[in-house]
Amino acid sequence: MIKMVVTDIDGTIYTPQNGISAGVKECIKKLDDNGIKVVIATGRTFSSAKYIADLAGVKCPIVGYQGGLVCNYEGDILQVKYLNPEIAREIINDFKKRNIHLNVYVEDRLYVEDDDEYIKDYIGDKGIDYFKVDSFDELDFSKLNKMLAIRYDVKFIDDLISELRAKYPQIYIVKSFDYFCEIANKEATKGNAVKFLADKFGLNIDEVLAIGDQNNDIEMVQTAGVGVAMGNGTEEIKKAADYVADSVQNDGFVKAINKFVWGQDV
């Protein structure tokens, strides 16, 4: 029996074009009303994820920064994993030489050096602010949540990820979207966050369902007792999942919940 549902946001329960559908909101409410824990797990900041939780109408635990931050709905930190400052500054200096746009997240605040098209596109409808600094050297990196490199070139991002993984095996490098390279603490994964919350709530991992659409969701999909990939997901996550649901446009989340939680045919 499923007692906790862990869901990604973008491309899973939410799209910029349509927000969260009425069907998804109703489904989440039904889970909550029946005592089944709902958890939002995302690469976003806590504040941005909480904005989505409010849209969905649920006061739930939130996993941010790919698993680097786990909070309750009120924002109390349950677990946090920071990125190594020395490695971060080394990567920043390298990226500056190559003119790679970088978002830096410190204590749930987003900082940039370049107020360019990348940050404006990224912010979009995320419901968060960003802060421009003349140099990242101004920032105290003792509580560095993560860094995010953006380049509108899929091959460039794939090559960058391969390069960073080879050079820095002690940190977590993952592609969250075609143009995003995420850089975080080695233990900052959604899979580890799922394990942490299952233990916290006294649940067996077989009682957890996790659902997502991107490569940064692979670990949590593989960790959960039931791992679901969205129909609009990457080929990699589809191969890793136990089940491939319909697309976000067709309320694949709802159909997966109906199948695995309520035992309905889909």
Across 88-157, the runs of DSSP E, i.e. the strands, are 101-106, 109-112, 130-132, 144-150
* Mean pLDDT calculated for residue range 138-148: 97
By mean pLDDT, which of 3-12, 56-65, 257-266 is the weakest? Answer: 257-266
Whose structure tokens read 């694949």? 252
* Six-digit token string for 110: 């987003």
CB 102 within 8 A of CB 149: yes
pLDDT of 265 above 90: no
For the whole model, what pTM was predicted? 0.94
Q: How confident is the model at residue 171 (pLDDT cuts 50, 70, 90)?
A: very high
> What average pLDDT is seen over the chain?
96
pLDDT tens for each residue of 179-201: 999 999 999 999 999 999 999 99
pLDDT score, position 128: 82
SS3 99: coil
With beta carbons less than 8 A apart as the criterion, state whether 67 and 188 touch: yes
What is the three-class DSSP state of 7? strand
Q: What torsion do the CA atoms of 247, 65, 215, 30 make, to the nearest 10 degrees?
A: -30
Integer Cα distance of 111 and 243 in angstroms:
38
| Residue 27, pLDDT above cutoff 80 | yes
pLDDT digits (tens, 9 = 90+) for 220-229: 999 999 999 9
- At 166 the pLDDT is 98
- The whole-number pLDDT of residue 260 equals 98
How sure is the predictor about 266, in pLDDT bands with cuts at 50, 70 and 90? low
Separation between Cα atoms, residue 113 and residue 92, nearest integer Å: 11
Give me the phi and psi of 177, to 5 degrees please. Answer: -145, 170
Under 8 Å CB-to-CB from 195, ≥6 apart: which residues?
205, 223
Residue 125, pLDDT above cutoff 80: no
- Identify the architecture of domain 4-80+188-260 in CATH: 3-Layer(aba) Sandwich (3.40)
Q: Residue 124 — very low, low, confident or very high, per pLDDT cuts 50/70/90? A: confident
Q: How far apart are CA 18 and CA 233, in angstroms?
A: 17
- The CATH number of domain 85-185 is 3.30.1240.10: yes
Query: How confident is the model over 31-38, as a mean pLDDT?
Result: 98
Domain ranges for the chain, please list them.
4-80+188-260, 85-185
Q: 211 with 253: CB under 8 angstroms? A: yes
Kindly tell me if the per-residue pLDDT of 19 is higher than 80: yes
CA 215 to chain CA centroid, Å, is: 10
- Percent of the chain's residues with pLDDT above 90: 97
What's at 257, amino acid-wise?
A: I
Mean pLDDT in residue range 4-24: 97
User: What span, in angstroms and rounded, lies between the C-alpha atoms of 169 and 148?
Assistant: 17
Q: Edge to edge, what strands does the sheet with 180-185 contain?
A: 130-132, 109-112, 101-106, 144-150, 180-185, 171-177
Q: Which of 12, 78, 3, 77 shows the shortest CA–CA distance to 43?
A: 12
User: For residue 22, with 0-12 CB atoms within 10 Å meaning exposed, 13-18 middle and 19 or more buried, which class applies?
Assistant: exposed
